[in-house]
Chain A
Amino acid sequence: MPTLQNAQAQVVSFLDEIDRLEQSDFPYAHPREALALLKEVFKDHQRLLSKLTVSTSADVLHNTCQQ
């Protein structure tokens, strides 16, 4: 399970950083839109990781965490 916990922690860190960056001033709209897209990607990863449990097969667990 350390692999899963590490992956979850990394995704949470990325989302926190995106939240922090979203508070910044953006002179143009595109970077903000890019951040929103990235946030969507990491939310999707977070959703996948939340489906994993202690009994998930090792192959599936490692493959998901690697992404």
Chain B
Amino acid sequence: MPATISPSLPLHTLLEMESISTLSTVRRPGLKGFSALDPGLPVLASEVAIDIDNILLGKSDDRTAMHFLAEKLSQAMEPDDADCHLPYRMDMATFTVLGDAISEAVWEKGSKDILALLEITNKIKAVLISDQSSNNHSDLEKARSFCVALSRAAAAYSDSIRNLHPSHPYRR
């Protein structure tokens, strides 16, 4: 489902609505799409980083979270026919978070326009979705760095939006 922003609601209200509906639902099959507003994103990215680390250390080969994140990235990169035939389904905030994560992880230097970002995201998705035999060490290390950076960037973004909302005067 594309991340749609209703102009009639403030962003922090939207974030709270998202929080209520997706709190700890990282594995809920019905939760679709890749959005910076998804409160489960920092935890999911963090889990993928742990799983990749464990694969690199030869401790386990659990790729469930990796495939889940890859699926979310896939959904975000499906063409959005309903909205001006855009080649993706991401809002600008999500692009910013994704771009920050890619820059921090130094996946690839070069152009940072949207199409370049989509291309790099596709490469990351390919690493996340691949099976044991086709991964090389360097790609997994890059994917791990990306996931750590994505987790940090998504958490920082959520915090910044949450801080826009003044706390209740009776709150201790």
A59 touches B145 (CB 8 A): yes
Residues of B within 8 A of A (CB): 23-24, 26, 42-43, 46-47, 49-51, 53-54, 57, 59, 144-145, 148, 151-152, 155
B59 touches A67 (CB 8 A): no
A57 and B42 in contact, given A41-B23, A41-B24, A67-B155 (Cβ under 8 angstroms): no
* In the complex, chain A residues 4-62 whose Cβ is within 8 Å of any chain B Cβ: 37, 40-41, 44-45, 48, 51-53, 55-57, 59-60
CB of B117 to closest CB in A, whole Å: 22
A67 touches B53 (CB 8 A): no
Interface size on A, residues (CB 8 A): 18
A60 touches B23 (CB 8 A): no
B46 touches A64 (CB 8 A): yes
Which residues of chain B have C-beta atoms less than 8 A from A60's C-beta?
46, 49-50, 53, 144, 148
Which residues of chain A have C-beta atoms less than 8 A from B59's C-beta?
53, 55
Which residues of chain A have C-beta atoms less than 8 A from B26's C-beta?
44
Which residues of chain B have C-beta atoms less than 8 A from A59's C-beta?
49, 144-145, 148
A57 touches B53 (CB 8 A): yes
